[in-house]
């Protein structure tokens, strides 16, 4: 099937803490020049979609080189479609709070919640975990933006959303509904946005268990880059096998 779109991860693929990875800008432009519709798809809940064109420009890329889908926006869209009248207790970055409010949902700070939505929380504390625990009742839906265990930075790995989600799992015994990568919810939403079939997509990312697994499950072509979460040795030994392994996004022309 002909490639029509490229789904490109951000953290560990295009940037680390919004510092451009060498060659990534050239790789993105190569995808565009190959005629592919580029969509940046991130599990990060801190990337502000309203400011994303300016972020691209700051990296030396055209403002319109590609749109953005995040696990925060996908979570808000899912809740608005399936639980529009829900009172939502949110654990995570301010962007996650804003996305859920902007989708027309009610965000509460205390008390019983219809939904607890959790992403990477920079302010995790005993007090926050206590309020989160008390938000649950028998019918509460537990939603996770993503399961990422770690997050790459120039100084090394930091805890990801999985640390927050895992703490909530540990104290409630509840399994979350995951919306972001590798969930089919994210794959379906991105394909719908792009107007393409999964088999027409090339997924490029640094994480076997989010980017590549999502693509594998959805029937997409996959390319692993070695600039983030996964080493070549880990990739070779894994049950999740990318179609291509590249040193970086800057080498994408090798498979175009």
Q: Is 25 a catalytic residue?
A: no
Q: How many Å apart are CA 235 and CA 231, to the nearest integer?
A: 6
Selected catalytic residue, list 9, 37, 114, 206: 9
Q: What are phi and psi of 201, to 5 degrees?
A: -110, 140
> Residue 85 catalytic?
no
Crossing angle between the packed helical segments 71-82 and 184-194, to the nearest 10 degrees: 90
Asked if residue 186 lies in contact with residue 214, where contact means CB atoms within 8 angstroms, the answer is: yes
Which residues partner with 105 through β-bridges? Answer: none
Within 10 A of 41 (CB to CB), how many other CB atoms are there?
29
- Residue that has been written with the tokens 């064109």 in this structure: 53
Q: Are 10 and 208 in contact (CB under 8 A)?
A: no
11, 25, 148, 211: which is the annotated catalytic residue? Answer: 11
CA 115 to chain centroid: 20
Question: HEC states along 172-223?
Answer: HCCCCEECCCCCHHHHHHHHHHHCCCHHHEEEEECCHHHHHHHHHHHCCEEE
Backbone angles phi, psi at 66, to 5 degrees: -175, 145
Task: Tell me the catalytic residues.
Answer: 9, 11
């Amino acid at each position: 099937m002909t490639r029509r779109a490229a789904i490109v991860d951000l953290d560990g693929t295009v940037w680390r803490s919004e510092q451009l990875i060498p060659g990534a800008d050239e790789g993105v432009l190569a995808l565009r020049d190959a005629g592919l519709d580029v969509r940046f798809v991130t599990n990060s809940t801190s990337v502000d979609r309203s400011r994303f064109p300016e972020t691209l420009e700051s990296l030396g890329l055209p403002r319109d080189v590609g749109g953005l889908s995040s696990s925060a926006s996908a979570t808000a869209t899912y809740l608005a479609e399936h639980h529009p009248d829900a009172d939502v207790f949110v654990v995570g970055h301010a962007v996650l709070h804003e996305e859920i409010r902007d989708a027309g949902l009610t965000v509460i700070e205390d008390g019983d919640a219809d939904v607890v939505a959790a992403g990477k929380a920079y302010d995790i504390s005993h007090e926050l975990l206590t309020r989160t625990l008390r938000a649950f009742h028998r019918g509460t839906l537990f939603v996770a933006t993503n399961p990422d265990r770690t997050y790459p930075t120039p100084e090394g790995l930091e805890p990801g959303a999985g640390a927050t989600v895992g703490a909530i799992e540990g104290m409630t015994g509840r399994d979350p509904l995951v919306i972001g990568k590798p969930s089919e919810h994210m794959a379906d939403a991105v394909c719908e946005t792009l107007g393409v079939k999964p088999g027409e997509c090339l997924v490029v990312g640094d994480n076997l268990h989010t980017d590549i697994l999502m693509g594998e499950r959805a029937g997409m072509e996959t390319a692993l880059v070695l600039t983030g979460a996964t080493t070549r040795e880990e990739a070779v030994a894994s049950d999740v096998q990318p179609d291509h392994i590249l040193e970086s996004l800057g080498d994408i022309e090798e498979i175009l």
